[in-house]
Chains A and B, each alone.
Chain A
Amino acid sequence: MSDIASSSFVRRDLLTERPAPVKTTGFVGLMRTRLFNSPTNILLTIVGALLLWFTIVPSVRFLMVDAVWSGKDRTACLAENAGFAVGACWPYIQAKLPQLIYGFYPEAERWRVNLTFILAVALLVPLLVPRLPAKGLNASLFFFAFPVVAFFLLHGGGIKGFGLSWTAGLLELFDDSIIGAGQAVLGLSKTSAVAPLLWVVGNFIVLVGTAISWLILPLTWLRDQIQGAGQSVWADFAVTTAVVSLIAFGLGGGLRTGWRALASSIAAFAAIAVVIKLMGLDRGGLPVVTTNLWGGLLVTLVVSVTGIVTSLPIGIALALGRRSSIPLIRIFSIAFIEFWRGVPLITVLFFATYMLPLFLPGNFTVDGLVRALIGIALFTGAYQAENVRGGLAAIPRGQGEAAAALGLSWWKTTSLIVLPQGLRHVIPNLVNSFISLFKDTSLVSIVALFDLLGSLRASFSDPKWSTPSTAFTGFAFAGIIYFIFCFGMSRYSLFVEHRLNAHRRN
């Protein structure tokens, strides 16, 4: 680099590589170069240190140093008995822990909740660790089998039929509602000005309903036969297995390539049979514990896990719908998203809990917890839709064109090219909504569901444990629980982001 100033230069020897200079800053170096290198930084360092001093020291004092660790009731946590200004009253949490985890779930049945938790962890952890194999089986167990098993474990009860009678029942309900609507129109035709028209329409609807009832007659007849015989569940199960397996066999390619589909279908039904037998679902199952007895962490986890798992598919569907070129789908998606985003969650929960029953037909009731679940899933789904849309918008048009030029259909382009890239862009936003959903589950306590926070507040009223620090201890405990879950989600999302964006690093 010497004679570069002169106008012509030709390098004779290429320079060899040298190692980078070693960093020489230790702790003192760091202090000097980063913390105390200018008047502003000195001031900021002092302010930061003071902030830490005034937050961390009192927290540690309250939670650990001044805390009472053992005792039988409130007397242990009173300053005059302990001999010092009492901080956290941990025996209170210890005494109330069952209530905070299970709510009013009957004590004899709590093993079912524990078993559900264990099942969930056993299925979720392998799903989250990328190195472990069989992700497909694991995912289908967690997303499809586990919710059903968890329902029968937590709620209890058995089944009276299987696929065949459920299909028959559903079709019958559908048909009844058609005939009901037809008769309602006929009823109107007696008083209306356009009576002849209504009469024709009403009769037509009733006719269609009757036609359908004839169409499904073989199914309902078979159902009645099975119900009449003993062992109705197993007879129905066998029929359903045969029908579904045959369909899988046909769709899988028939005699030539269908054997694999047939085998996996039969294996799945065999597994279902084992579960039914193990849980005794054919003989009434476990004792029913209605959802108004559920509470505490159980409700928080049920609501948030269901919300997280269902809101993402809803969001993806709505985001795709909003970008659709079909006007009806696009308008529906926009209206749906804007409606749910424009309404506060509390309103949604109130509406779902107290007003929805007024709109539903009289004999049709939905469980209170399920109503809150649906409300939260749709609410979060609308938010996720906008997150996903942001990711989709970041994909260059050329990606879709390249996929189209290779002959990929819209569905394949979307699921193989656009969504995998789009979702990776918005992992932080998606997890942001999940975390926000997790904390928003505490709002269900205003519609008479006792989640973790609700159970906690209920426990404050127990005179046995009323001390000056009870409420602080309780909220500190709830805060720690919420923090563990939310921080866990946050860290895991960073890990996923890092892993999935491997292609963006050079």
Chain B
Amino acid sequence: MSDPIVKISGLNKWYGDFHVLRDIDLAVEKGERIVICGPSGSGKSTLIRCINALEEFQEGEIVVDGIALGPNLKHIDAVRREVGMVFQSFNLFPHLTVLENCTLAPIWVRNIPKKDAEINAMKFLERVKIPHQANKFPGQMSGGQQQRVAIARALTMNPKVMLFDEPTSALDPEMVKEVLDTMVDLAEEGMTMLVVTHEMGFAREVANRVVFMDAGQIIEANTPNEFFAAPQHARTKLFLSQILR
């Protein structure tokens, strides 16, 4: 087996005195899809935000594609270039059109000429099925469309890993599916994905592994079949009984 593309070892994080992440160890292989679930406040969002250094941490190490990110956050920019992120609240840039949202980072971070960046961005907008909206502003689109643009925007940087922080939680029920479909397509193309979500259907269909977190620690990690059919830990059983009725 090759080296894992994301390797988290001994990760500890405190907010003031509050110990949010406790001794997290997690290795993600290339092409692996991991779904992280757990009750709110369990630290799952904080964990994936640590991977691209949106959060600092006090102890431990994260290695992304051979680039080590220690507590002093030295290689932030190098890591962020390899990791794409999709947020719960989309965080599109409202003053820029959809196309400009998707070309900003390639132009200003990768120094790609504007023409090439636009051609490339259109390719990704076609993949998320909204090429005809390229000149609209994000505020003129539905939540599901915005989230798909956000996915396209992250993909324009050719990331090796994609992080999804509850990508469907802020959407109307009717729009959840279109975003999940996009994510399934992405998974089928072999993208390495870490997804924080409550969509257990997605976990069953797509994930290689489901990681259950509570109180800042990993309680249980297993293949979806095992995880849903035969949860081991009492806390996991309780959680699953709450959400799968």
Stretch at the interface among B79-87, B173-181, B188-196, B223-231: B79-87
B104 proximity list for chain A (CB < 8 A)? 406, 408, 416
Secondary structure at chain A's binding surface: helix, strand, loop or mixed?
helix
**Complex alpha-carbon distance, A398 and B45, angstroms:** 14
B89 CB within 8 Å of chain A: yes
- Are A502 and B137 neighbours in the complex by a CB distance under 8 Å? yes
**Complex alpha-carbon distance, A398 and B140, angstroms:** 19
Minimal beta-carbon separation of B7 from chain A (angstroms):
20
A12 CB within 8 Å of chain B: no
**Complex alpha-carbon distance, A128 and B33, angstroms:** 52
**Complex alpha-carbon distance, A396 and B85, angstroms:** 17
**Complex alpha-carbon distance, A7 and B77, angstroms:** 62
- Are A401 and B139 neighbours in the complex by a CB distance under 8 Å? no
A131 CB within 8 Å of chain B: no
- Are B153 and A504 neighbours in the complex by a CB distance under 8 Å? no
Our pick among A399, A409, A503 for the contact of B91 (Cβ within 8 Å) is A399
B132 CB within 8 Å of chain A: no
B94 CB within 8 Å of chain A: yes
B77 proximity list for chain A (CB < 8 A)? 407, 409
- Are A406 and B105 neighbours in the complex by a CB distance under 8 Å? yes
A424 proximity list for chain B (CB < 8 A)? 95
User: Size of chain B's interface in residues, with CB distance under 8 A?
Assistant: 28
- Are A405 and B52 neighbours in the complex by a CB distance under 8 Å? yes
- Are A408 and B108 neighbours in the complex by a CB distance under 8 Å? yes
- Are B157 and A407 neighbours in the complex by a CB distance under 8 Å? yes
Interface residues of B in 81-125 (CB under 8 A from A): 81, 83-85, 87, 89, 91-96, 104-105, 108-109
Minimal beta-carbon separation of A10 from chain B (angstroms):
21
B54 CB within 8 Å of chain A: yes
- Are B94 and A503 neighbours in the complex by a CB distance under 8 Å? yes
Minimal beta-carbon separation of B137 from chain A (angstroms):
4
A402 CB within 8 Å of chain B: yes
- Are B54 and A401 neighbours in the complex by a CB distance under 8 Å? yes
- Are A398 and B87 neighbours in the complex by a CB distance under 8 Å? yes
Minimal beta-carbon separation of A64 from chain B (angstroms):
47
Minimal beta-carbon separation of B88 from chain A (angstroms):
9
**Complex alpha-carbon distance, A401 and B91, angstroms:** 8
- Are A407 and B87 neighbours in the complex by a CB distance under 8 Å? no
**Complex alpha-carbon distance, A412 and B157, angstroms:** 16
A420 proximity list for chain B (CB < 8 A)? 95
Q: Across the interface, name the chain A residue whose C-beta is closest to B85.
A: A405
B152 proximity list for chain A (CB < 8 A)? none
- Are A406 and B154 neighbours in the complex by a CB distance under 8 Å? yes
- Are A504 and B94 neighbours in the complex by a CB distance under 8 Å? yes
- Are A402 and B139 neighbours in the complex by a CB distance under 8 Å? no
Residue among B92, B108, B139 with the highest chain A CB neighbour number at 10 A? B108
Residue among A404, A412, A500 with the highest chain B CB neighbour number at 10 A? A404
B80 proximity list for chain A (CB < 8 A)? 404-407
A506 proximity list for chain B (CB < 8 A)? 139-140
Minimal beta-carbon separation of B189 from chain A (angstroms):
20
- Are B81 and A407 neighbours in the complex by a CB distance under 8 Å? yes
Q: A407-B109, A408-B109 in contact; A402/B87 too (CB < 8 A)?
A: yes
Minimal beta-carbon separation of A86 from chain B (angstroms):
56
Report which A residues bind B (CB closer than 8 A). Answer: 396, 398-399, 401-409, 412, 416-417, 420-421, 424, 500, 502-504, 506
Report which B residues bind A (CB closer than 8 A). Answer: 52, 54, 77, 80-81, 83-85, 87, 89, 91-96, 104-105, 108-109, 137-140, 150, 153-154, 157
What are 14 inter-chain pairs, A to B, with CB distance below 8 A? Answer: A399-B93, A402-B92, A403-B93, A405-B54, A406-B154, A407-B77, A407-B80, A407-B105, A407-B157, A408-B104, A416-B104, A416-B108, A421-B93, A421-B95
Given contacts A401-B87, A421-B94, 20 further A-B contacts (CB under 8 A): A398-B91, A402-B85, A402-B91, A403-B93, A405-B80, A405-B87, A406-B153, A407-B77, A408-B104, A408-B108, A408-B109, A412-B109, A416-B104, A416-B108, A421-B95, A500-B95, A502-B137, A503-B94, A503-B95, A503-B137
